[in-house]
Amino acid sequence: SVSPTLRATIGANSNIQATNLTVTSQTESSADTQTAGVSTGTLAVAVSTAGATVSPTLETSVGSNALINATGDITLQSLHNRNANGTYIFKGANALATAPAGGLIGLTGAFASATSSANLDSFVSSGATLNADDISVLAKSYNKATAASAGLSVGLLSLGAAVVVTNTDGVTKAHYDGNIGNATNLTVNAIADDYAQADTTALAGGLVAANVNSANANVGSTVTTYIGNNANLHVTNDIQVKAESN
C-alpha cells in the first residue's frame, strides 16, 4: 500500500509580494504486487492472493487572511500521476496472482485486487486576498488500477477459480473561497481521469473439471469545483470554473 500525505501551503496571515508564485504538491506513486502458489501431489491445493493500493492525499492551499500581490501569475496545483501540462505519468496500482496445481485432485484459487484512490484538494481559504495577472487553482489526478489472476488445475477431479476486482475512486477538488482585489483571469479546474482493468483466466482439466472466472472493474471518482459563497472577486476578463472526469 502506498498512501503518502503531502501539503504545500501558504500560511494564514502571510503577506507576500512576488513576480510569479507557484505552489505545487505532486505525487508519482505506484504499487506492484505479484504472487504465485504452486502445488502438486495426490491432493494439490494452490491459493494465491495479491493486493495493491495507491491512495495519496494532497493539499495545496493559501491560508485564511493571507495577502499575496504578484505582478505576474499565481498558480496553486495538486498533481497525482500527472505533469503540470496535464499529461499522464503512467503509474498506479497493479496486482497479479497465479495459482497452478496438478494432482489426482487439483484445486486452485487466484485472487487479485487493485485500488487507485487519490484525494486532492487545491483551494484559497476564506479571507485570503490575491492580486495578480492570471490566477489558477488546479487539481489533476490520474488513477490507474490493473489486476489479473490465473488459476490452472489438472487432475482426475479439478476445480479452478480466478477472481479479480479493480477500483479507481477518490476525490479531486479545486475551489476558491477567498477574495480577488484585481486579476485579469481566474481559472478553477479539477480533472480526474480513471483507468481500471480486470483480467481473469481459470482453467481446469480432468475427468471432472470446473472453472470459475469473475472480473469486476469499478470507476467512481468524485470531481468538484466551486467558488465559495462569500468570495469577492474583481476579475477584468474571464472566470472559468470546470470539473472534468474521463
Residue, of 102 and 3, whose pLDDT is higher: 3
Instruction: Return the HEC string of the chain.
Output: CECCEEEEEECCCCEEEECCEEEEEEECCCEEEEEECCEEEEEEEEEEEEEEEECCEEEEEECCCCEEEECCCEEEEEEECECCCCCECCCCEEEEEEEEEEEEEEEEEEEEEEEEEEEEEEEECCCCEEECCEEEEEEEEEEEEEEEEEEEEECCEEEEEEEEEEEEEEEEEEEECCEEEEECEEEEEEEEEEEEEEEEEEEEECCEEEEEEEEEEEECCEEEEEECCCCEEEECCCEEEEEEEC
pLDDT at 42 over 80: no
What's the pLDDT score for residue 48? Answer: 80
Average pLDDT score over residue span 53-67:
97
What's the pLDDT score for residue 133? Answer: 98
Residue, of 134 and 33, whose pLDDT is higher: 134
Tens digit of pLDDT for each residue in 167-190? 999 999 999 999 999 999 999 999
CB 52 within 8 A of CB 95: yes
Q: Locate cell 487479485: which residue?
A: 112
What's the mean per-residue pLDDT of the chain?
Answer: 90
What's the pLDDT score for residue 99? Answer: 75
Average pLDDT score over residue span 5-23:
97
What's the pLDDT score for residue 150? Answer: 78
Angle (CA) 132-134-135 rounded to 5° is: 80
Q: Tell me the pLDDT band of 101, cut-offs 50, 70 and 90.
A: low
Percent of the chain with pLDDT over 70: 86
pLDDT at 38 over 70: no
pTM, entire model: 0.89
What's the pLDDT score for residue 164? Answer: 87
Q: Is 13 left (phi over 0), alpha (psi -120 to 50) or beta?
A: left
Tens digit of pLDDT for each residue in 176-226? 999 999 999 999 999 999 999 998 876 666 666 666 778 889 898 999 999
Q: Tell me the pLDDT band of 110, cut-offs 50, 70 and 90.
A: confident
What's the pLDDT score for residue 44? Answer: 65
Length of the chain equals 246
Average pLDDT score over residue span 221-243:
97
Q: How many CA atoms lie within 13 A of 202 on its CB side?
A: 24
Say how far apart CA 52 and CA 114 lie, in whole Å. Answer: 5
